[in-house]
Amino acid sequence: MTELFEVWVYLAEQPLLWLTLTLVCYAAAHALFKAANGFALLNPVLIAVILLVGILALTNTTYEQYFAGAQFVHFLLGPATVALAVPLYSHAQQLRRLWLPLSIALIAGSTTAIVAALVLGTGLGLEREIILSLLPKSATTPVAMGVAERVGGIPSLTAVFVILTGITGAIVGVPLLRLLGERKASTKGFAVGVAAHGIATASAFQHSERAGAYAGLGMGLNAALTALLVPALLWLFTLF
């Protein structure tokens, strides 16, 4: 047992340990997801997060220590987001024809997400800082954290809300829309992209490239609109 502890202490000092464990956890979670024929509750991101949190808890590792070793994954979020433009380009003609319904859906979805968080948070008696941290939960993490900081929220708490929103959207988004009778991949993809950003977008790609492309579009547009709407809606609500 002592020897095992000494080996762990040595490995914990290596810069690639947490990056390797992150990739291993996701690979194992993805294999489980495939083996279960894409069962929604076994979403790879959810399972990988559970595995990593368990490892961090068992080894008494702080988030700062983990992030120092796994920050390359965080760096890749930028290029991965930009790469979403590739499938969008292949659907450019269809997007031009659908600009009006997409615009209406974007405004409706983004506004609903913010107002619902504001009303529910107020109704449940949450502290103001928590409510402000919750408002941009449907935007992608960097944008949501920036918006939360700007309006007086807690960026680190916002990051947690964003991740929970994304995982929830990835698990129930497409299956729920299918249950409601929606069959168009573009509609399902755009809806989950607006509601649950990058994690749900990755899930949409598992259904089809078309769904993923529209999810990426919804994610990007909602991030920009959320940055404008949150301060505006907060100002509007103070008038009543």
Residue 74: the pLDDT is 67
Same domain as 109, residue 12: no
Tokens of 36: 């279960």
Cβ(69)–Cβ(16) under 8 Å? yes
Of 58, 80, 102, the one marking the end of a domain is 80
Question: Which ranges of the chain would DSSP assign to H, the alpha helix?
Answer: 2-12, 17-35, 44-58, 63-83, 85-90, 92-97, 99-123, 128-134, 141-151, 155-179, 185-207, 209-237
d(CA 9, CA 19): 16
Considering the chain, what percentage of its residues have pLDDT values greater than 70?
87
Of 25, 55, 80, the one marking the end of a domain is 80
Segment 22-39 shows an average pLDDT of: 87
Checking if the pLDDT of 216 tops 50, the result is: yes
Checking if the pLDDT of 15 tops 50, the result is: yes
Residue 2: the pLDDT is 52
Q: 23: Cβ–Cβ under 8 A, 6 or more apart, which residues? A: none
Tokens of 221: 């547009």
Checking if the pLDDT of 11 tops 60, the result is: no
> What confidence tier does 78 reach under pLDDT thresholds 50, 70, 90?
low
Same domain as 218, residue 133: yes
Same domain as 71, residue 134: no
**Count: domains in the chain:** 2
Same domain as 75, residue 57: yes
pTM, two decimal places: 0.75
Q: What is the mean pLDDT of the chain?
A: 82
Q: 232: Cβ–Cβ under 8 A, 6 or more apart, which residues? A: none
Residue 14: the pLDDT is 58
**Which residues constitute the domain of residue 221?**
85-237
